[in-house]
Chains A and B, each alone.
Chain A
Amino acid sequence: MILDKTSIYSQGIRHIVLSLVLFFVSSQSLFSRVLRVEKNKGETISTAIARAESGDTLIIPSGNYAEPTIVVDKSLYIKGENFPVLDGQDKNEILETKANYVTITGLKFINAGRSDINDMAAIKIFNGHHVEIRSNIIEHAYFSIYLQGCTNCFIYNNFIHGVKASEMMSGNGIHCWHSDSLRIFQNNISSQRDGIYFEFVTNSLILGNFSHNNERYGLHFMFSNSDTYTSNIFQENGAGVAVMYTKNLTMLYNKFLLNWGDAAYGLLLKDISDSKIEGNTFQENTEAVHIEGSTRMEFRNNLFLSNGWAAQVQASCMDIVVTHNCFVGNSFDISTNGDLVLTKFDGNYWDKYEGYDLDRNGIGDVPYRPVGLYSVIIQKIPSALMLFRSPMTNLLDKAEKVIPGMTPVDLIDNRPLMKSMSSRYD
């Protein structure tokens, strides 16, 4: 084929012109300004925002700023120098964003107001998209970060420490309501009511957060479909983590640690369907997992270590598959509240398994029944816990193993593993 030289040249020129035009159009930032809050001239952040235009960068020098609620109604990049302190003086909300493409970073928010009528927050985001809250410190707030009707927002690397008060007196760390496609990464949240709270939030990713010592739940979410939780740590929360009324949930590689108490769960699952819980670690919880009213779920490759009860699977559950998990050092492995068992246990490692493996294929030749007689008794008469590990009850347990009578017949692992595949504990 013979190439027409002129057509090549003209095409090249067109490309250059086009890309130049694109460059100027797209890089509006070339013309946007960098403003500073002139604190020494008595300027407040609000007035600085008033003189800024969309696309500007606003730098807040370090110092103390106590002013009425700051409303960000333009697409601004707001950056603090050495964590300037924005003080809510215990009476008002500190900052609200009502625009899209807002970034807020490097600020310290303290003493946001508390109200029983409004959910007052340190940072409130209304109906925005592409709002980024990055690397801020929030202390002593009622609600800390509050998102409402947002899409594509990014909450990253914030340090949130609330007021440790009663459940009624404190708000949530990161509160998300009716939002979509959020990313909540690597925040450190403590002493709030709920660390992370989701209601009607879809298609979001929660990754690498550390939610600990909260008054109620480390993570609390309801009606939030198709969300993924990965590599978070939930530790020593009043009642652990609660997940309710949700479809298509994915929880991977999270850690649920030390949730102790009368009503504390490592993970409470209520009315969940079509979900996957994989590779998580549950350690030293009173009740590691409590499942009720759930269908079509898969538990795979989780580690249950030194819990009071590893899993409480209520008879209201259906089509739950528990496979390749590792149960080590739990006081009770599985407990249930009825004879009906529609949960399938298959190929798990149970440290209490006493069977043998003659053909050496790594799978025990005798099935394992994870529910002992004694855990059935405790379910019926809680005060019988006092007789736990008594030689008498050990004897009863052994007798029941030989001739099952009281324990649910279908709750059985037909292929218990001889060796744990998990190297995550030692």
Chain B
Amino acid sequence: MGKISKYVILDLIRNRIVLSYLVVLLAISFSLFNLDSNPVKGILGLLNISLLIVPLVSIIFGTIYYYNSAEFIELLLTMPIKRKQIIISVYAGLAVALSVAVLLGMGIPILIYSPNATGLTLLIVSIALTWVFVSIAMLASVLTRDKAKGIGVVILLWLYFGLIYDGLLLLILFTFSDYPMEKSMVALSALNPIDLGRIYILLQLDISAIMGYTGAIYRDFLGSSIGMVFAFAMLFVWIIIPLLLCIRRFNRKDI
């Protein structure tokens, strides 16, 4: 398993896309921090990167990589290796390579300009989102045989998690504005990994506003240690469930 992951990682490094991802992240992060003397504004810019760009790159690159290495995977299948092991190795290799890119590309500028709890949270959330979206990418590409269709599906998924879901939530909020919605909002937010990550960063960034009565439920729940554990457990579930489904499908798949 380690051997296959190592091969995947080496392959990823050689194909330069991960490297250019790293360089782009570095460039964006440095320029965001340099735009304004106030590092909080840089963090705000990075927040958008981590909520939109990181999931996008993870999900699309994950899918493309899977399709491109379909022949390699087929070759591996002829070897006496368990299918489960192959798929996990490919996943681990992809996720590790992309996480390293995020860790360096965002981590170095954060370390220089904003080495505090907010920066650290942002970095952790970005890495967690990378793992989640690579996992979703793997599931989507195992499920669809056609490459174009697969990429279309993951772009739709990204749109759904990144934009449409929040729009739906807003719609629900408006529709049921006469009812106490706070608790159900917490539950609903757990159904979107991007929202989970965003609320985590909000708890750091906008703590003054969240201390108001409107944010009381989020502060009391997500700000407490149980809430922290819950949110991280949910993110973990978002990594594990698609991966498990993917393994199940891959095991039965006629390749």
Contacts and interface: CB of A to CB of B under 8 A. Distances in A.
Contact of A308 (B189, B195, B212): B212
> Is chain B's binding surface mostly helix, strand, loop or mixed?
helix
A389 B180 CA distance: 22
A71 interface: no
Nearest to A377: B170
Interface in A272-287: 284-287
A392 B166 contact: yes
A359 interface: no
Given A378-B214, A384-B170, A285 B163 contact: no
Interface in A329-352: 329, 331-332, 351
A403 interface: no
B242 interface: no
Interface residues of A, number: 37
Contact of B189 (A285, A328, A386): A386
A115 B40 CA distance: 50
A386 B201 CA distance: 11
A308 B208 contact: yes
B51 interface: yes
A380 B177 contact: yes
Contacts of A395: 163
B182 interface: yes
A381 interface: yes
A286 B211 contact: yes
Contacts of B189: 386
Interface string A281-315: 00011110000000000000000001111000000
Nearest to B36: A351
Contacts of A394: 48
B55 to A, nearest CB: 10
A394 B36 CA distance: 19
Interface residues of B, number: 44
Most buried by A among B174, B186, B210: B210
B96 interface: no
Nearest to A425: B38
B216 interface: yes
B209 A385 contact: yes
Nearest to B41: A351
Given A284-B208, A393-B166, A386 B213 contact: no
A383 interface: yes
A331 B214 contact: no
A404 interface: no
Contacts of B199: 386
Contacts of B51: 390-391
B202 A264 contact: no
A380 B38 CA distance: 31
B213 A392 contact: no
B212 A287 contact: yes
A394 B52 CA distance: 12
Contacts of A286: 208-209, 211-212
Contacts of B205: 331, 389
A285 B209 CA distance: 8
A331 B173 CA distance: 21
Given A384-B173, A386-B185, A391-B52, A262 B212 contact: yes
Contacts of B115: none
A395 B211 CA distance: 25
Nearest to A260: B211
A261 interface: yes
A263 interface: yes
Contacts of A329: 38, 40
Contacts of B77: none
B162 A391 contact: yes
Nearest to B170: A387
Most buried by A among B47, B174, B186, B212: B212
Interface of A: 260-264, 284-287, 306-309, 328-329, 331-332, 351, 377-378, 380-395, 426
Given A286-B209, A389-B47, A390-B198, 6 more contacts: A262-B213, A286-B212, A306-B208, A329-B40, A383-B214, A391-B166
8 contacts: A264-B211, A308-B212, A351-B36, A381-B181, A388-B206, A388-B209, A389-B198, A394-B48
